Amino acid sequence: MGDARSLPRLLTGVGGPPASLVEHRARYGAGTARTGLLDEIEAAGLTGRGGAAFPTARKAAVVRAQRGHTKVLVVNAMEGEPAAHKDRTLLATNPHLVLDGATALARAIGATRVSIAVARDEQSTVRGVRAALRERDREDRGLTLELFTPPWRYVAGEESALVHWLNDHQALPQYRPHRPSILRIGGAPALVDNAETCAHVALIARYGAAWFRALGTEASPGSALVSITGAVARPTVVELALGTPLRAALRAAGADPEPQAVLLGGYGGTWLAASHLDAPLANEALAPLGASVGAGVVVVLPAEACGLRETLRITRWMAHESARQCGPCAFGLPALALDLQQVVASGPDAPAALIRLAQRTDAIAGRGACRHPDGVVRLVRSALDVFADHLDSHRRGRPCAARTHRPVVAVPELEPEEDLVWQ
């Protein structure tokens, strides 16, 4: 595949139609068989690219250690973030790379089934994966590969919610106080990995850990796909070596390298001011800023927009998208959105609402059945910090200079409660 330090790796051939199995093998080589694959993945330092960044080999080893059970490998391509489209891009370009990694990982843990989950709303992706599976009909002997199409919801991509749906068609998160924990499908231990993670596994199986580590940093090796949206000419996906400065990532996507701020990690992520855009895109560098690479999402906010208004739009939607299984989601998030709305409205209730915001974020953090409310708290807290100047104007009842600016963040319209689909 040429110089190990060159890019792209995952997105070879991007921009064309989905690669056929023959084309795929011409690009990447035929085989993914490697003795001791989990040891190689551990040496590579691969972490999950779905948001949690948990070590892939360690997560797989927990499932492999479950003796006497039939096991399942689940490819999570649900992509619940409205601003994310990296998995769709990957599957639209190199579906067989994802499937190669999934089958290699399945064999490494002793699984007999591979379940690929793509949101049913993404019909083009569904058709592409279905066609790729037909091509592989006789390729993956000893494994059953099946495509599943749950409904698209923000929380439906959370791995326990996805497993819940695969069990009983209810896309609702499960309470898991300790991780990693064993998820089960029909009693069988299940390993759930993001589509991008599986594609990296396919490359590590072919070229090895040293090749993978030729990019990235010591603590965050390899490359990652990043969806860049917001104030850009068009939403795009770029593949970057981890450790690339954020500003360089914006340039790679044709975005303004001098924006007001960026939202990093998705809708449950962290706002970062422009003063931090020279920070490397790597968790060890972002952690002191309260941020992480997360699901590989960067939303660019232009200078003329109001970050508080954009945060309010996201918070309302995230409150609406919750599974409503516990108090922090059912009551805390709507109250948080209402307080933020009163702050943004710059009325006489703004100072009291600001005090309530601090109290509510403290009360909600860490108390949800899943991590959904924690993400919203992180988003709101970072907005209050990064947009302190806007906040002061709103708190004092001054008109927002950005009140007539068109929305920047891609937030879907709120659906009527009776139209929400979880099955």
pLDDT, tens digit, for every residue of 19-41? 899 999 888 887 767 789 999 99
The domains of the chain are located at 21-213, 223-301, 307-407
- Give mean pLDDT, residues 414-421: 57
Q: In the predicted model, is pLDDT for residue 418 greater than 50? A: no
pLDDT at 66 (0 to 100): 92
> Contact, 357 vs 387, CB < 8 A?
no
- Give mean pLDDT, residues 119-144: 90
> Contact, 95 vs 116, CB < 8 A?
no
> Contact, 203 vs 212, CB < 8 A?
yes
Q: In the predicted model, is pLDDT for residue 211 greater than 70? A: yes
71 vs 181, residue with greater confidence: 71
Q: In the predicted model, is pLDDT for residue 387 greater than 70? A: yes
- Give mean pLDDT, residues 382-406: 79
Q: In the predicted model, is pLDDT for residue 392 greater than 60? A: yes
Question: Which token pair is 381?
Answer: 């807290």
Q: Strand pairing partners for 297?
A: 227
- Give mean pLDDT, residues 42-56: 92
Q: Which of 340, 336, 271 is nearest to 301 (CA)?
A: 271
CATH class name, domain 21-213: alpha beta
Q: In the predicted model, is pLDDT for residue 422 greater than 50? A: no
Please report, rounded to a whole number, the percentage of residues in the chain having pLDDT higher than 70.
93
pLDDT at 416 (0 to 100): 59
User: Using CA atoms, how far apart are residues 82 and 73, in angstroms rounded to an integer?
Assistant: 25
pTM (predicted TM-score): 0.93
- Give mean pLDDT, residues 173-194: 82
pLDDT at 203 (0 to 100): 95
Q: Does domain 307-407 have CATH number 1.10.3720.10?
A: no
Q: Which residues contact 17 (CB under 8 A, 6 or more apart)?
A: none
> Contact, 19 vs 128, CB < 8 A?
no
Least confident of 15-24, 245-254, 267-276: 15-24
Q: What CATH code would you report for 223-301? A: 3.10.20.600
- Give mean pLDDT, residues 393-410: 74
pLDDT at 18 (0 to 100): 86
Q: In the predicted model, is pLDDT for residue 2 greater than 90? A: no
> Contact, 5 vs 215, CB < 8 A?
yes
Q: What is the mean pLDDT of the chain?
A: 88
